[in-house]
Structure 1
Amino acid sequence: MNHIGYETELGQCICGDSLKELEKLEDGSVNLVVTSPPFALQRKKEYGNEEQNNYVDWLCRFGEIVYKKLREDGSFVIDIGGAYKKGEPSYSLYQFKVLIKMCDVIGFKLAQPFYWHNPSALPSPIEWVNKRKLRAKTSVNTVWWFCKNPKLCKADVTKVLTPYSERMQKLIKNPDEFVKEDNVLRPSGHMLNKASWSKNNGGAIPPNMLQFPNSESNSQYLRYCKKLNVKGHPARFPAALPEFFIKFLTDEGDLVVDIFGGSNTTGQTAEKLLRKWKSFELSKEYVASSVFRFSENEKAAQSYYEEIMSDGWITIGDGQQSLFCDYNLNAR
């Protein structure tokens, strides 16, 4: 094993160039690639981000390989945030240019656009929002859900139903109080009848606007980073985001890949959901600290971290204590 990183019972986090690591995978073997690449921001970030002028071609190089590695029923999900053009308060179109090239050049189909609203987002960009007060803060990312074949693409929305509202629960319990007439055609074109509206389907179909706060503050990952004086990854997405798409688009035992692993939120989520997974991350420091998500205690966390930083490879045992400790998929 020449890799730097670690493996668990179901997956591997590998320090390496995703372009090279992706090529090692068998064509048509991946069920889902879900990732959040570095955004095309004007200000350079420590985790690395491409210039806006080069960004579309750069990201689509990964898309070309992902297309080959996906199964015919597989999906490619990209969380991609917005940015402003340099020196002026006008919005860049780079994420939409990515969308067009992925579809028109590489061959993906846009299964459906999603949008992630982070209600805890801080006001940005600073120049146009905080200082000059010319724009509202940006709190919504585009999330492109691509597939190879929309007729074959694996998806089951019943796996990601949302809890019914209080009013809907009352309607299901006693439809006569809410539906006075049966089989009434609404102005929207929907037929309103008691039988269909009062049926309990286990939850409501979710919208394509996903609202998850990105306000992690006391997770095991961050606690160990603080205790061991290790700087955590500054641009993590909440576990709820990959969780939604992993549940929606895969089954247990399927292979989930993250090509910009960061702190390996996707890998931890996939492991908890009993999916096989691979996570690729170019930074050795981020790979090493991401092992905190799978460490059973502080001593193990420090040992794993030091071994990976020394170019080592860690095999985390089959004990489930280390894999699942301090992690709640239902937490929002």
Structure 2
Amino acid sequence: MKVPESEDKVRKIASQEHNNYLAEGMTLHKATQSVPSSLLQSFSEDLKCKLSIKQKLLETQLFQVLGSPFYADNGFILYNCDSTDFLHKLSLTNINIDLTITSPPYNIGKEYETPMSVDEYVEFCSQWMSKIYEITKPDGAFWLNVGHFQVPNKGLCVPIPYLLWDKSPFYLLQEVVWQYGAGISTKYRLSPRNEKWLFYVKDSQRYTFNLDDIRDPNVKYPHQKKNGKYRCNPLGKNPSDVWEFPKITTGNKRSSRERTGHPAQFPLGIVEKVVKASSNQVEVVLDPFAGSGSTGIAAAGLGRIFLGFEIKSDYCTMAVNRFKAFQIARKNFSAQA
């Protein structure tokens, strides 16, 4: 008589022969830190002085045009406002932005957005992107994080970059794919595990790009030579246009430590990389859809001045509380060091 195998024996995911995570002892989920240690480093007295002077000057200029901010301190300036209105006001001044990093609403029914048709959404994005272009410095950059949505009768998971890439005066330098492990599971299509970052510049021939600050030291053959000289830069290789960062996740034993109550939060690690690549210390970094304040923490932690707009007051409170917690963590880190 043939004895049927138990369910455990026929499940491939429970077999070391088929599941590398079991065979190699790898952990599938890599939880993010509440704040990367690279953002907690202390500044020199000279840099502190320059940041203080720059912030006071910027606050004075902003007050004349936008009024009092929701919060302003230590490189972090946040307004509770409609970004479309305030971007228009900024475009009428001589205030210039060095770098913009943002992830706008995806028009997929989140609590902070009003549903639009595809054409309305594209026009909405075109307007605020064009305003960002007007206030960006000649050598400045704009990094846009977008995912996908449904286009009725055309497609289910249409990448938003297909619709927005040329809807502003910016020059699209390249697309960066953000790959992550966690995400929704599907049955009749492949599980989506990536979003896109569009890397725009104002001048295709002259823009800030600090390659040495973001080089990857994980080189497979670091001692390889050609004609007696090392082939690879001693600081590391140029990262590819596919970046792997853990997504902000929820759930028992897998929730990200940096997670807030915001439903669409991107990780500090990926924003840190963008800030390093496309801006310098004491420069101004803008996020017109500030959300939980990730851009602000990364910018302030790297010695930049953050300017953020957020229409929901509860998100503003969330971002400020998160920033204050970051300041405490930074102080404790310096004391321990």
Q: What is the identity, as a one-letter code, of the residue corresponding to 1:37? A: P
Deviation at 1:136, TM superposition (A): 0.4
Q: Which sections of structure 2, spanning at least 5 residues, go unmatched?
A: 1-62, 250-254
Q: What is the identity, as a one-letter code, of the residue corresponding to 1:213? A: P
**Superposed CA offset, 1:144-189 (max 9, x none):** 1111111111112111011224x324xx2xx4xxx7xxxxxxxxxx
2:97 paired with 1:97:
no
Which runs of structure 2 are paired with 1:1-332 in the superposition (5 Å)? 2-3=67-68, 5-25=70-90, 26-27=93-94, 29-41=96-108, 44-51=109-116, 52-86=118-152, 90-92=156-158, 94-102=160-168, 107-123=169-185, 129=186, 133-165=187-219, 167-169=220-222, 172=223, 175=224, 192-197=226-231, 199-215=232-248, 217=255, 219=257, 222=260, 232-296=261-325, 321-322=327-328, 324=330
Deviation at 1:113, TM superposition (A): 1.3
Do the aligned partners of residues 159 and 286 (structure 1) sit closer, same or farther apart at CA in structure 2, a change above 3 Å counting? Answer: same
SS at 1:256 equivalent: strand
Q: Which residue of 2 aligns with 1:227?
A: none
**Superposed CA offset, 1:201-241 (max 9, x none):** 2112101111101135354664xxxxxxxxx1111001112
Do the aligned partners of residues 113 and 221 (structure 1) sit closer, same or farther apart at CA in structure 2, a change above 3 Å counting? Answer: closer
Q: What is the identity, as a one-letter code, of the residue corresponding to 1:322? A: I
Do the aligned partners of residues 40 and 326 (structure 1) sit closer, same or farther apart at CA in structure 2, a change above 3 Å counting? Answer: farther
- Decide whether the 8 Å contact of 2:78 with 2:307 is kept in 1: yes
Do the aligned partners of residues 221 and 116 (structure 1) sit closer, same or farther apart at CA in structure 2, a change above 3 Å counting? Answer: closer
CA distance in 2, matches of 1:45, 1:293: 21
CA distance in 1, matches of 2:290, 2:150: 25
CA distance in 1, matches of 2:155, 2:131: 35
Deviation at 1:49, TM superposition (A): 5.0
CA distance in 2, matches of 1:119, 1:327: 30
CA distance in 2, matches of 1:56, 1:327: 44
CA distance in 2, matches of 1:134, 1:21: 43
**Superposed CA offset, 1:81-107 (max 9, x none):** 0123347764325431211222xxxx2
**Identity of counterpart residues, as a percentage?**
24
Q: What is the identity, as a one-letter code, of the residue corresponding to 2:178? A: W
Q: Which sections of structure 1, spanning at least 5 residues, go unmatched?
A: 124-128, 180-191, 223-231, 297-319
Deviation at 1:122, TM superposition (A): 2.7
SS at 1:91 equivalent: strand
Q: What is the identity, as a one-letter code, of the residue corresponding to 2:237? A: A
Per the normalisation by structure 1, the TM-score is 0.71
Q: What is the identity, as a one-letter code, of the residue corresponding to 1:151? A: Q
- Decide whether the 8 Å contact of 1:221 with 1:292 is kept in 2: no
Do the aligned partners of residues 91 and 194 (structure 1) sit closer, same or farther apart at CA in structure 2, a change above 3 Å counting? Answer: farther
